[in-house]
Amino acid sequence: MKIYVDAPFGKAAKEMLRAGVHPDICQFRDELEQEEMQRQALAEADILLGNPKRLDWLQQASYLKWIQFHSTGFEYYRDLQTTAIVTNMRGFYAEPCAETIVAGLMALYRGIDRFSVLKRDKVWTGIAARPQLQLLQQKKVIVVGWGSIGKRIAKILEGFDCEIFVYSRSLPEALVRTPEQLIEALPKMDIVVACLPGTDDTRGFFTTQMIRSMRPTAVFCNVGRGNLLEDEGELVDALMQGRLGGAVLDVTAIEPLPSDHPLWSCPNTILSQHTGGGYTDEHGGIVQLFLENLQLFKEGKPLKNQVQLHRGY
């Protein structure tokens, strides 16, 4: 069996993977110097681990029986026509993404972002800064999207005695289930956390009206997809004009963010640069899940985290 790997693995993850798949043949894209060698390896592979950028190559990989993405999102591959089983990393990044959002909120409320700049500039403000600091405790939070990340964020925030509300079209117990109900709820919320996946239904979901419905002290968080906002410029304007209290953004409409983008200059804004899912042994965890799925694949059993490309989840 031939396995093609297009993932940014280091030496330890590669050794772990090679040991786990032996005696199957495992080829890594970054170890094949020529593009033609990479294309040929993918064309001959039975299994793909990773997210190749060359869609035309992937479309022509007719021997593939299983594709394991190393990401949760896969909207880049929505139009791919394949008979292969497709799996993703659903749930794998929930804890680091949740901790990133909570860390961002804590940084804003406790002034850590500003104190970091003051430390760099060797400026002491001391007692004068105390009245500006806020508490995360007992904030009203609406989580938009009740997947693994949203659930984990809610669980952590419950430890701060936050009052949690949920927007979900399918969750029976959700009190907010339509965009109209969300617009009605937003003026009551201190924090909005968007965790929606990238689908046709979620692109531009968070409208200008929704941003304008938020209270001036509210914080907008996005750890889902950068195309969630109907108009990112409206968010920028709200932050610049003080119509929002702040933002914690792991994702943006354009990535990497251009050096002249206005988000760099927005006050009270944390930009974590789409690193929310990262942690020390991220690659080892990906390999471990792949090996578990590989064993199921060889035994002819259903694989974990199967998705449908055309549906986006």
Query: CA-CA distance, 71 to 117, in Å (whole number)?
Result: 33
| φ/ψ of residue 86, rounded to 5 | -125, 130
**Beta strands 246-249 and 191-194: pairing type?**
unpaired
> Is residue 266 a contact partner of residue 240, using CB atoms and an 8 Å limit?
yes
Burial class (CB in 10 A: 0-12, 13-18, 19+), 56: exposed
Concerning whether 310 is annotated as a catalytic residue, the answer is no
Which among 54, 78, 261, 274 is annotated as catalytic?
274
Q: Which of 225, 232, 234, 283 is catalytic?
A: 225
Half-sphere exposure of 31 (CA within 13 A, CB side): 11
Is 274 among the residues known to form the active site? yes
Inter-residue contact 108 to 126 (CB < 8 Å): no
d(CA 138, CA 157): 9
Residue type, 55: L
Taking the C-alpha atoms of residue 197 and residue 24, their distance in angstroms, rounded to an integer, is 34
Question: Nearest Cα to 112, choosing from 312, 270, 310?
Answer: 270
User: Is 225 considered catalytic here?
Assistant: yes
Out of 255, 292, 310, 311, pick the active-site residue: 255
Q: Taking a C-beta distance cutoff of 8 angstroms, is the pair 125, 146 a contact?
A: no
> Nearest Cα to 7, choosing from 64, 61, 53?
53
Contacts of 2 (CB under 8 A, 6+ apart): 24, 25, 27, 41, 44, 45, 46, 47, 63
Q: What does the block give as tokens for 138? A: 């007992």
| Catalytically annotated residues | 225, 255, 274
